[in-house]
Chain A
Amino acid sequence: EVQLVESGGGLVKPGGSLRLSCAASGFTFSSYSMNWVRQAPGKGLEWVSSISSSSSYIYYADSVKGRFTISRDNAKNSLYLQMNSLRAEDTAVYYCARDISAGAGYWGQGTLVTVSS
Chain B
Amino acid sequence: DIQMTQSPSSLSASVGDRVTITCRASQSISSYLNWYQQKPGKAPKLLIYAASSLQSGVPSRFSGSGSGTDFTLTISSLQPEDFATYYCQQSYSTRFTFGPGTKVDIK
Which A residues are within 8 Å of any B CB, using their own CB?
35, 37, 44-47, 50, 57, 59, 61-62, 95, 100-105, 107-110
* Contact of A101 with B55 in the complex, beta carbons under 8 Å: no
* Chain B residues bordering chain A, tally (CB within 8 A): 23
- The smallest C-beta distance from A58 to any residue of chain B, in angstroms, reads 10
* Contact of B50 with A47 in the complex, beta carbons under 8 Å: no
C-alpha gap A46/B48 in the complex (Å) = 19
Which residues from B are CB-within-8-Å of A95?
43-44
Which B residues are within 8 Å of any A CB, using their own CB?
1, 34, 36, 38, 43-46, 48-50, 55, 87, 89, 91, 94-101
* Contact of A101 with B91 in the complex, beta carbons under 8 Å: yes
- The smallest C-beta distance from A73 to any residue of chain B, in angstroms, reads 22
C-alpha gap A57/B93 in the complex (Å) = 13
* Contact of A47 with B97 in the complex, beta carbons under 8 Å: yes
* Contact of A110 with B43 in the complex, beta carbons under 8 Å: yes
* Contact of B98 with A107 in the complex, beta carbons under 8 Å: no
C-alpha gap A101/B45 in the complex (Å) = 15
With A102-B49, A103-B91 already in contact, 12 other A-B pairs whose C-beta atoms are closer than 8 Å = A44-B98, A44-B99, A45-B38, A45-B89, A50-B96, A57-B94, A59-B94, A100-B91, A102-B91, A104-B36, A105-B46, A107-B44
* Contact of B50 with A103 in the complex, beta carbons under 8 Å: yes
C-alpha gap A57/B45 in the complex (Å) = 25
List 30 A-B residue pairs with CB atoms under 8 Å apart, sorted by A's residue number: A37-B44, A37-B98, A44-B87, A44-B98, A44-B99, A45-B36, A45-B38, A45-B87, A45-B89, A45-B101, A47-B89, A47-B95, A47-B96, A50-B96, A59-B95, A61-B95, A95-B43, A100-B34, A100-B89, A100-B91, A100-B96, A101-B96, A102-B49, A102-B50, A103-B34, A103-B48, A103-B49, A103-B50, A103-B89, A110-B43
